[in-house]
């Protein structure tokens, strides 16, 4: 068995009070793909920093294979001392790394390399930081929230890049679909300790819920056992005559276990403050046009948004999503076209920049400096009580915002937004930095909101679960609205592309030709090779599917890696190859089937 690239064992770290990490472990072998998950504030980023050698634990073993190369992607990169993105990325190379990969990776991430790091947008900064850790092709990649601020196209490129890479991977992310695609093992950091399942993130939530149910049952059993023992001490005949010292000692030990047990943390409670119902028509836009410096961002866009609609906007960074939102809400004047807002609109808006005063306290931020109360749904509540709904502790009321984690800041901004009465929620990138439990609650809030929602997001899973229609760019400033979520939009676009191909082919076949070519066109048919492929490809696809299922079953064995790492690596490589081959075969069959239909239709 190959030695691990990284091994953390018995890691302990406390910043006063309850230990953040309490006997935590993490082991990563060559080629492994690990999702590190847990609540915001559970210590995931700290554990990753310990793995990268940036933080020293107070106790425990840290082993990194001396010959292994490790690259760490922080949430907030340090650009100091670098005048261009290229210089920043090259500084991440080791002596044996290929400098030519710098230009390749920078280009694939949509940068030139000549950008000034100080002027980068959030998405550009994240892409530059990714280029720095991907260019060296290290043995081990440690990625902290790699998808934050990335658009969907870049996220999908990153998924493909990580799936092709031979680097071992440990990643923290709130993006469910990203984790499902890149992980093969999942490590859950909860209440200071880690537990592992040797399956990808897709299996994690069912496994976690089962563990928590078993833990709660065990805790209740322990409580009942203590009650029985205490009853024996008070009323047992033997106890009245002579106390059993051993049994008394066991009772003390049970009480200690029961009192020191760290219960699973609660969940946030999110409820939007209701405003009076808006009119049935919320927004009507006709022929909207908006340009900047000669570049048309929105061209001839029209839509009708009714009460109860939940509309998602997707597209690359810089495509104009925020501009379109501002046009639709009347915050920005169009160059041409009209926007009509419905009656009784009360708008609550979450800006993706979320500018916060780092010196301001949580209580002051939530109350706008007006005492210690917040009015929610017409009822006055003490700010500490309201903070608890969003998982803040009472002692954090006077804490400066600068001391909050990224996830805590996101929750704080949502807490203030949801206290405002609204019947139109405008959420620009609301999922950034939220943990999955809070994302689930936000999803439920959006789904159950009685008013109307406009939502900008790059989180495909969140969009699929919440929106009723999706607006996406179609190039040259044009925007198209599709029914359903992100996956529905992609399916409709694929169908549209197939129809365009059919129409284009039919148009080409219908062009007037000379008598001789016309005769040849009339006798057009599939070649023998094409016919053979059309007949045999379904069986090939079916066989590949069976082989993929067999390999997936082998890799799902949690003991395989420990028993035979060579076989594990071989099966993993074969699985990737089979998936690619099946995808290519499906595309080939689809093209041939379309060609057959065109010939028979002609």
Question: In the structure encoding, which two tokens stand for residue 508, read together?
Answer: 């080409």
Among 39-43, 166-170, 177-181, the minimum mean pLDDT is found in 39-43
When mean pLDDT is compared across 8-22, 334-348, 563-577, the lowest value belongs to 563-577
Written out in words, the top-level CATH class of the domain with range 6-204 is alpha beta
- CA–CA separation, 525 vs 130, rounded Å? 49
Q: Using CA atoms, how far apart are residues 36 and 179, in angstroms rounded to an integer?
A: 9
**Class at the top of the CATH hierarchy for domain 281-488:** alpha beta
Give the DSSP H/E element, type plus range, for residue 283: strand 281-292
Q: What is the mean pLDDT of residues 420-439?
A: 84
**Per-chain mean pLDDT for the chain:** 83
Give percent of the chain above pLDDT 70: 84
d(CA 45, CA 90): 25
- Read off the pLDDT of each residue in 255-264 and give the average, rounded to a whole number: 56
* CB-CB neighbours of 570 under 10 Å: 13
Residue 40 · residue 144 · CB < 8 Å: no
- Give tens-digit pLDDT for 393-410: 888 889 898 888 777 788
- pLDDT at position 298: 94
Q: Which residues contact 483 (CB under 8 A, 6 or more apart)?
A: 468, 469, 492
Dihedral, 216, 434, 368, 445 alpha carbons, nearest 10: -70
Task: Check for a shared fold between 281-488 and 512-601.
Answer: no
Question: Which backbone phi and psi does 140 adopt, to 5 degrees?
Answer: -140, 125
| 69 touches 136 (CB < 8 A) | yes
Residue boundaries of the structural domains of the chain: 6-204, 207-260, 281-488, 512-601
Tokens of 402: 């600068």
User: pTM score, two decimals?
Assistant: 0.68
**Topology given in CATH for the domain delimited by 512-601:** Helix Hairpins (1.10.287)
pLDDT one-digit tens code per residue, 92-120: 999 989 999 999 999 989 899 999 998 88
């Amino acid at each position: 068995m190959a030695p691990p690239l990284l091994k953390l064992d018995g890691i302990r770290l406390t910043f006063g009070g309850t230990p953040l990490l309490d006997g935590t472990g993490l082991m990563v072998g060559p080629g492994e793909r690990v999702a590190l998950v847990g609540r915001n504030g559970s210590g995931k980023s700290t554990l990753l920093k310990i793995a990268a050698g940036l933080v020293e634990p107070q106790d425990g073993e840290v082993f990194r294979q001396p010959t292994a190369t490790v690259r760490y992607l922080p949430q907030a990169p340090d650009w100091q001392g670098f005048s261009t993105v290229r210089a920043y990325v090259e500084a991440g190379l080791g002596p044996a790394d290929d400098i030519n990969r710098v230009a390749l990776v920078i280009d694939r991430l949509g940068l030139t390399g000549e950008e000034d790091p100080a002027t980068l947008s959030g998405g550009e900064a994240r892409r530059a930081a990714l280029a720095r850790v991907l260019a060296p092709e290290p043995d081990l990649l440690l990625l902290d929230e790699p998808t934050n601020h990335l658009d969907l196209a870049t996220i999908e490129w990153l998924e493909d890049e990580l799936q092709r890479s031979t680097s071992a991977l440990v990643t923290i992310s709130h993006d469910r679909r990203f984790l499902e695609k890149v992980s093969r093992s999942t490590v859950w950091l909860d209440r200071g300790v880690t537990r592992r399942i040797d399956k990808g993130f897709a299996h994690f939530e069912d496994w976690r819920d089962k563990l928590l149910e078993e833990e709660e049952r065990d805790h209740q059993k322990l409580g009942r056992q203590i009650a029985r023992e205490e009853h024996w001490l008070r009323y047992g005949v033997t106890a009245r005559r002579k106390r059993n010292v051993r049994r008394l000692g066991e009772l003390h030990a049970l009480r200690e276990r029961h009192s020191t047990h760290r219960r699973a943390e609660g969940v946030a409670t999110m409820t939007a403050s209701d405003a009076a119902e808006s009119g049935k028509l919320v927004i009507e836009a006709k022929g909207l046009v908006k340009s900047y410096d000669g570049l048309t961002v929105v061209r001839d866009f029209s839509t009708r948004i009714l009460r109860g609609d939940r509309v998602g906007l997707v597209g690359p960074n810089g495509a104009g999503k925020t501009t379109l939102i501002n046009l639709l809400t009347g915050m920005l004047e169009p160059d041409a076209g009209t926007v009509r807002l419905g009656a009784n609109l009360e708008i609550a808006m979450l800006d993706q920049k979320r500018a916060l005063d780092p010196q301001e306290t949580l209580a002051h931020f939530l109350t706008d400096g007006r005492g210690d109360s917040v009015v929610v749904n017409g009822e006055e509540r003490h700010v500490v009580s309201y903070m608890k709904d969003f998982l803040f502790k009472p002692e954090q009321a006077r804490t400066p915002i600068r001391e909050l984690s990224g996830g805590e800041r996101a929750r704080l901004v949502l807490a203030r937004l949801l206290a405002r009465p609204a019947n139109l929620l405008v959420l620009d990138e609301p999922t950034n930095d939220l943990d999955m439990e809070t994302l689930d609650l936000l999803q439920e809030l959006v789904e159950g909101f009685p008013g109307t929602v406009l939502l900008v997001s790059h989180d495909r899973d969140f969009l699929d679960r919440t929106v009723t229609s999706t607006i996406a760019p179609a190039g040259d400033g044009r925007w198209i609205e599709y029914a359903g979520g992100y996956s529905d939009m992609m399916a409709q676009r694929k169908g549209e592309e197939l129809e365009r191909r059919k129409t284009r082919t039919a148009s080409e076949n219908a062009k007037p030709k000379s008598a001789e070519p016309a005769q040849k066109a009339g006798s057009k048919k599939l070649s023998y090779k094409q016919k053979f492929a059309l007949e045999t490809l379904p069986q090939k696809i079916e066989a590949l599917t069976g082989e993929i299922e067999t390999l997936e079953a082998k890799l799902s064995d949690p003991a395989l890696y420990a028993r035979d790492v060579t076989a594990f690596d071989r099966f993993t490589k074969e699985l990737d190859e089979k998936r690619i081959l099946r995808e290519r075969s499906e595309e080939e069959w689809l093209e041939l089937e379309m060609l057959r239909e065109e010939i028979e239709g002609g």
